[in-house]
A = this chain, B = another copy of it.
């Protein structure tokens, strides 16, 4: 055994010789960004060897610069440790564990009321029961049932009660001196408490993404969102896309359980924080709703996702599931809590899209709209209340910063807006401070600006200095630098970055963006063809998620990510999936609407269509 020390945490761990640094990091629970899941492709998991020897592997030689290797930088996934070693974790590769964002539901109950019929199907009833005596030997449960019938609860004889609740009853009702509050959900008793707690009913809506998991705690009486928390999906360590995660489950039998535990752990972490943050009693959480992509849905339930990934892409189930907390191993909620798993649409169009469609009301709008949820996969929905079509395209993680030389996610230090005039470059950094990279919306701006100035041509080539328009200033022109793998454009000079290295936009970066935007645009084109309409017939484009919040509409049109439409018809849909999950907590009837959306929507499988390939190639051009 040898010892590894991680700085600046000062965490130590003893491991077997030959352990990779990534494995060791996992053991000490330091979470770093490893988008390719340790395959040695992305080159993102750069750490610094402070003390100890680690010869650079051929993969490291390729992915790291000569200077980096000299300084002691290595890839955590590639470097195996054979002696006591001290390793420094640069702050830029750490996963920012907690990000807070709201689903914008707060105070929104009236707007919800307009579109959805409210009703939680929960009922809390306070009972002041007669005590038992030799003349009144009703069982504890019989006594409670009679008490409920006096309160005019319907259908008493069909009331269900679980073993868990029955177990609690004898001690509880005596401690409560027979004054209790009974909670009913549909026709089942799901809680019995001491005293009068009729005012306290809460639910949590979850949106489980491949990258981020969000939870929203909602007061079921007032409809108010009391608290919202988002955390990084720590399954990241097994790769940043669902295909890597599915691949991981196939390596060893136990891995499915590992991924299941990891997701539940994140939900539990969110619960542990969000409940005290909202100042409520965890026992008064009665319902949760869960949206997420199909793979996350399967992993949470411990369903084998093996047949999602290869053609013909078959999930275990698409329908919604009405479960109890006890059905999800290790979920830290009372076993009787109702768990509604939203329905999926297909292997790659998941419950989060159903939640989004619910929230944006496409299912009840007369006019045709286009909904785009852009992550590693781009899910696209086109339609109206009459009929909806959807598809999923593998856009790749370019817009999330992966596979882009200076790419990063939209967090602190990321450039999220870029403006270039003839002479100078202007940009905005999230939370200001030193620049650490460029995120998706910044990248789109940058390419749009370079297109406008003619520095990138129609085929995506970063032109040579001499090819530039004559009116272009020397300042901009000289940022074009020739290299062995094509030209690159100097975006940020070394003095302005945190690492002290300059940031470039490389020819390869542009190709990655072209692949991503072409996938999305070709998907949109195929849907338009299916529906037999032209782009002008689209009444509204809704962009989902954080990306939709930050993206510059003009830039998105210019690079050809979305069709050309008047700007007022393009909107951010906010965190539509999270809001959809919240709406279901408050409006029980929307469960059926979700089921109908999932069942009636027409899913278009792009992989089997030759015309998608044609559209894709066409869309590569700017």
Give the interface of A toward B (CB within 8 A). Answer: 132-142, 162-163, 166-167, 169-171, 174, 301-304, 306-307, 311-319, 321, 323, 327-328, 344, 346-347, 603, 605, 607-608
Contact partner of A139 (CB less than 8 A), chosen from B142, B304, B315, is B315
Cα(A138)–Cα(B307), bound, Å:
12
Contact partner of A316 (CB less than 8 A), chosen from B133, B170, B307, is B170
Cα(A167)–Cα(B605), bound, Å:
25
Neighbouring B residues of A135 by C-beta, 8 Å: 608
Neighbouring B residues of A140 by C-beta, 8 Å: 307, 314-317
A170 near B306 with CB under 8 A, answer yes
Q: Say yes or no: A142-B301 contact (C-beta < 8 A), given A312-B137, A607-B134.
A: no
A132 near B316 with CB under 8 A, answer no
A245 to chain B, nearest CB (A): 16
A132 near B317 with CB under 8 A, answer no
Q: A137-B312, A141-B316, A167-B304 are known; give 16 further A-B pairs, CB within 8 A.
A: A132-B307, A132-B314, A134-B608, A137-B313, A137-B314, A139-B314, A139-B318, A139-B319, A140-B307, A140-B314, A140-B315, A140-B317, A141-B319, A163-B327, A166-B317, A170-B316
Nearest chain B residue, comparing its CB with the CB of A133 = B312
B301 near A166 with CB under 8 A, answer yes
Q: Say yes or no: A137-B317 contact (C-beta < 8 A), given A303-B167, A304-B170, A323-B163.
A: no
B141 near A312 with CB under 8 A, answer no
A508 to chain B, nearest CB (A): 32
12 A-B pairs (CB sep. < 8 Å): A132-B312, A132-B314, A134-B311, A137-B346, A139-B316, A140-B307, A140-B316, A141-B316, A166-B303, A167-B303, A170-B307, A170-B316
Neighbouring B residues of A141 by C-beta, 8 Å: 316-319
Nearest chain B residue, comparing its CB with the CB of A329 = B163
Nearest chain B residue, comparing its CB with the CB of A609 = B134
Nearest chain B residue, comparing its CB with the CB of A308 = B170
Neighbouring B residues of A163 by C-beta, 8 Å: 301-302, 321, 323, 327-328
Contact partner of A605 (CB less than 8 A), chosen from B137, B302, B323, B344, is B137
B134 near A301 with CB under 8 A, answer no
Contact partner of A318 (CB less than 8 A), chosen from B142, B306, B311, B317, is B142
